[in-house]
Structure 1
Amino acid sequence: MIPEGRLLVAGGHSSQTGARPENQDFVGIYTASELERMRRGMIAVVADGVGGGIGGDHRGGRIAAELAVREAIDGFYCQPDTIGVAAAVQRVMAPFNRWLCAMGRSDTMAHAATTFTACVLKGRKGHVLHVGDSRAWHFRDGRLTLLTEDHTRSHPDQRHILYRALGIEERLRLDHHEIALAEHDRILLTSDGVHGTLSARRIEKLLGARNSAEADAMAIVDAALAGGSQDNASAVVLDVVSLPGVGHDSVAGDIDKLPILPPPETGGSVDGFKLDRLLSDGRYTRLFRAVDSVSGQVVVVKFPKPALLSEGGAKLAFMREILVGSRISSPFVGGAIPVPQDRQSQLYGVQPYYEGQTLEQRLGSQVSLEEGLAIAVRLTRAVAALHKLDIIHRDIKPDNVILTQDGGLKLVDLGVARLPRIDEFAENEIPGTPSYLAPEMFTGNRGDQQTDMFALGVTLWRLFAGRYPYGEIEPFTRPRFRKPDMPSVHRTQLPAWLDAVLMRSVSIEPEERYGDAIELLRALEGGAAVARVKQNFVPLIERNPARFWQMVSLMLLAALIAALAMR
């Protein structure tokens, strides 16, 4: 079984002399240790040497290519992992390029130069660094895409002449192309002895054979030589076997590049998403039901409102939803749909569309005890799934709970969730609905498991008792929390055990609430058998003050009548 959460790549290569007297190509793959892959990634390079030395000896090109590959691999892993991949490769190859330019002016390596195409796989991204006319290709779902541009003259008779390569210009200019990786992707690096003979369609077919990376690299080179290639032929194939989980750095980097534009209107189209119906127009975001013209899938597209949310706050919110949606696997928590980086032109988020209604809409009419318990159990399971990953939702409320048509439930709107080791919002930008905020949040707590438990408890109060335990709280007010009436005061058919569960769920003091969502789940599923064991006796004056004073009044009236009769 392949371990999860790790970058695993299978690499293979082939380099043949062909019709030339010697092989001036050089290739290298360094898969790296697990720690090196995690910190810096893995690297593969193809270089095609050109030029020569005294007496027509062309070994200078071979030396340039081999040294370029070795320098790239050795030097890359000596760079600090705090700088980006492109900067690390540039830092290594720029001094080498200056040295090669100097050597090219000597008799020993006169005019020696080399193409250079490197691919670094790090995290969930591939980075191609390139100069010359070697090529890098991306193969996914049966389709081959060229990632690089040849630095050769455009005239048909001069396409073999390089105007950029290592050793040609004193100042090194490396092209950098970045791609989002997916499992089962293939990356191909080729020298011009391969792609100068084989068409892209032919290469695509050879990669589609899906043999081992080594076997397919050899098959590509053999096909080029059999097709009449008069040059050295080299190929490197990298198969992406598994990828690490979506991480903060990669998502934050992608989102940071996206502009925040005013939200569109119904009927518009953004990046192929046709917005056919407005679902919600809230304070900070606007949501549309949309059809993805690429996949045909019905989705929800959420746009920020830049006038009401800072750029930093908006990007943090959307980053959180992508991270949570990619990390969590629960039938009760809404997911996220990643959009390819080269497709997305502005900041928005895409989520699955769940046909149904919100819990807030369902509360327009009374919910039976049986249905209410089923909803409560599913919602508590959703919260437990988040807390298991140290994710704090921070905005649990009926508006953020979707009851699907098939009887399921989805807890959504994770844009304000608190995630471990992720930047926090500015203090004035932490959203939340006042009526669901725990008392400690009014004194500086920024959200933890116990504040989520309180918000869940308020939601369950509304589900079973039809009201807020502490009343509806207006924004920008500081409420005074006093012990509420028992829920059964407002809905008399509630059993005593559920009374106890709901009262404990919204306790003013955090330590008096349920320790976690699993403990609350046991109480809801176990009913009286579990809840009664842990509940203390609650006097009638606390459970139902009105009934208590009615009974006291009746007793006093009876005593008064008895006293009058005795006189």
Structure 2
Amino acid sequence: GLGRANLTLGARLCAPRPSCYPCCAMTRLDHKLRCEIGFVSERGRRPDNQDFGATRFGRPRVDSRADVVAVVADGVGGHAGGREAAELSVRAFLDGYFSLPGSLGAQQAAARSLDAINSWIVAQGRVDPERAGMATTFTALILSGRSGHYVHVGDSRLYRFREDTLEQLTEDHLMGRGDLKHMLRRAVGLEDSLRMDHASFPLRVLERYLLCSDGVHGAIGDRRLREILGRRAAPQQTAEDLVAAALDAGAADNCTALVVDILDTPPAEAGELRDFFGDLPILPPPEPGSILDDYLIGERISEGRYSRLMRAQDLRGGGQVAIKFPQPRVADDRTFRRAFVHEAFVASRVRSPWIVETIEQLPERQTRLYSVMPFYDGETLEQRLSREPPVSYAEGAQIATRIARAVAALHRARVIHRDIKPDNILLLKDGGLKLIDLGVARLPQLEDFPAEDIPGTPSYMAPELFAGAAGDEMSDLFALGVTIYRMFARSFPYGEIEPFMKPRFGRPTSLAARRPDLPAWLDAAIARAIAVDPLQRYGDVLEFAFEIENGAQRGGPAEPVRTSLYDKNPLIFWQALSALLVVLLAIALAWK
């Protein structure tokens, strides 16, 4: 038998070097399928080990597929050739699956490969008396792109551990009654026609999967499994802990555990997202207390012109989520669908602690247009500005640098947010921050919105946007500068701009005039970020963030700045000057 087998495969995410700027080190853009695997199998109290497990990483230039496949099989005890059936089925499945063309799809290739193995094992049992009755359970996890698949027969199991919730994905094929309740009713080699279970599901970063034989799950219950998986030790250590716990609990069978951690997934393709969102109907937002697609709808979180955000309970996976529904009859259907495609496109390509996530849904689960996000406990920056005390320099500088890191993460992926404002910045209770609402972002590879459908918030829009520009890194920088100005001053540097206005940008009101307690250098830094001429602004958002983080070393409290009448109000200046000239002219004429 295997005795003890330890195998760790995969690639860890590299640790950022100290010299890297934090927002760059913590953001992944080169997405590929990345995973880490731990494997342990112990004989236990049995005289030999009839379990067999293996993992194979496909190589595009060698195999037809670049997938990752993990398999656990448990030879049926009491029959000759149980171990042989387990090992043969695993090895032959891996060879067969990776030899089939990728055009077949993961499920079809897996089914075809396993069905051929079943036919061979059944035939061997008929012609060789020593192999009569040989059979095995079989559970395979297939990672293909952004999707996971399983094929399953018997009572070995596949679990998914996500956000502290343990979910059994496979069903045990047991008699379940009387003295035969532990006897298998399905296994590879039992019948001429193999009845296998298979399913697919989207993969999410940082979730983990467990494949195990009944020696593990039969000895320790779900509560203990959840506890060990929840420690978040490395996969190899977790597999060792699971098997050790099963043996300590008195497991009488072989014990095998294979743990798979998902570290990263490839980005979604634009066409794939268009096809998915393009077929979903747009309906009025549901009422609290209703159930939609196995989500129990809760209270309303916020409501805007284009969407409504509602809290919900996931009745399948557990946990709280936030669901964004479009508001019907506000914009053209194509505009709504484009916004949801954009949001999903960004979420699949930009992984950053400062950017909101989107939870991918199974196509068969989602019946209407909406997007699902994790529920974040906190408040928007706009809500923070509505209560006392005013934002201090220490608090504001921390918030400002985090917003800048979020925007920089988008810019590295060539994504322009185009609607940066306090309403779209979520301050978490644990001190974190999330930049939200990416539906109107300008993205590579995707067509842009028609000019009349780009919402934008006028008071935060750069001057060039009013002239018809589509938006770029400099316009995002301007919006960031206005957001930070308003965070400290609770007003706008150029005054509040109403929709459909064509504003004239003069000299902004000095931050020092509204908050003399703030450092002088901060006023100058923000003034440069919100300069009317894009060429006068910082080179990029990171340069602005660096200025905020390091400016405290160069300045103290701001000195009051005297502003001339001309700078305060040019119209009054020229009116006064004209009146003075009229008076002087009248005096001159009277004198003559």
State the TM-score bracket (shorter-chain normalisation). 0.5 to 0.7
Q: Return the letter of the residue paired with 2:497.
A: E
Q: CA deviation at 1:316?
A: 2.9
Q: CA deviation at 1:523?
A: 6.1
- Which one is further off, 449-458 or 155-164? 155-164
**2:352 counterpart (318, 328, 338):** 328
Corresponding residue for residue 210 of structure 2: 187
Matches of 1:405 and 1:142, distance apart in 2: 19
Partner SS state of residue 263, structure 1: coil
- Which one is further off, 42-51 or 207-216? 207-216
Corresponding residue for residue 535 of structure 1: none
Uncovered stretches (5+) of structure 1, i.e. residues with no partner: 53-57, 227-232, 532-537
Corresponding residue for residue 303 of structure 1: 325
1:88-167 superposed matches below 5 A:
88-100=109-121, 106=127, 114-120=136-142, 127-137=149-159, 146-151=168-173, 156=178, 160=183, 162=185, 165=188
Matches of 1:450 and 1:503, distance apart in 2: 14
Corresponding residue for residue 95 of structure 2: 74
Partner SS state of residue 88, structure 2: helix
Contact 2:206 2:263 in 1 (8 A): no
Q: CA deviation at 1:187?
A: 1.6
Contact 2:403 2:435 in 1 (8 A): no
Partner SS state of residue 319, structure 1: helix
1:205-244 superposed matches below 5 A:
213-214=239-240, 216-217=242-243, 220=246, 226=252, 233-240=253-260, 243-244=262-263
Q: CA deviation at 1:154?
A: 6.6
The 1:3/1:340 distance shift into structure 2, 3 A limit, reads farther
Contact 2:342 2:441 in 1 (8 A): no
1:343-492 superposed matches below 5 A:
347=370, 348-355=372-379, 358=382, 362=386, 371=391, 377=397, 380-391=400-411, 392-401=416-425, 412-416=435-439, 418=441, 427=450, 431-434=455-458, 436-438=460-462, 441=465, 446-459=470-483, 466=491, 469=494, 472=497, 474=499, 484-488=505-509
Partner SS state of residue 91, structure 2: helix
The 1:415/1:65 distance shift into structure 2, 3 A limit, reads same
Matches of 2:144 and 2:576, distance apart in 1: 74
Corresponding residue for residue 302 of structure 2: 280
The structure having more radius of gyration, on CA atoms, is: 1
Instruction: Find out whether 1:8 has 2:36 as its counterpart.
Output: yes
Contact 1:285 1:304 in 2 (8 A): yes
Q: Return the letter of the residue paired with 1:13.
A: S
Contact 1:137 1:145 in 2 (8 A): yes
**1:264 counterpart (279, 282, 286):** 286
Q: CA deviation at 1:318?
A: 5.6
Q: CA deviation at 1:247?
A: 5.8
CA offsets 1:11-53 (integer angstroms, 9 cap, x no match): 111357947xx87x451222659999x952351321526999x
TM-score w.r.t. the length of structure 1 is: 0.66
TM-score w.r.t. the length of structure 2 is: 0.64
Matches of 1:174 and 1:303, distance apart in 2: 34
The 1:121/1:235 distance shift into structure 2, 3 A limit, reads farther
Partner SS state of residue 378, structure 2: coil
Q: Return the letter of the residue paired with 2:54.
A: I
Matches of 1:67 and 1:352, distance apart in 2: 48
The 1:221/1:83 distance shift into structure 2, 3 A limit, reads farther
The 1:412/1:315 distance shift into structure 2, 3 A limit, reads same
Contact 1:354 1:404 in 2 (8 A): yes
The 1:247/1:460 distance shift into structure 2, 3 A limit, reads same
Instruction: Find out whether 1:41 has 2:68 as its counterpart.
Output: yes
CA offsets 1:428-453 (integer angstroms, 9 cap, x no match): 76543355444555677554322212
Matches of 1:64 and 1:435, distance apart in 2: 70
The 1:471/1:137 distance shift into structure 2, 3 A limit, reads closer
Q: Return the letter of the residue paired with 1:386.
A: A
Q: CA deviation at 1:150?
A: 3.9
The 1:298/1:122 distance shift into structure 2, 3 A limit, reads closer
Q: Return the letter of the residue paired with 1:416.
A: G
Contact 1:497 1:528 in 2 (8 A): no
The 1:81/1:47 distance shift into structure 2, 3 A limit, reads farther
Task: State percent identity of aligned pairs.
Answer: 30
Corresponding residue for residue 341 of structure 2: 316
The 1:305/1:563 distance shift into structure 2, 3 A limit, reads closer
Q: CA deviation at 1:237?
A: 0.7
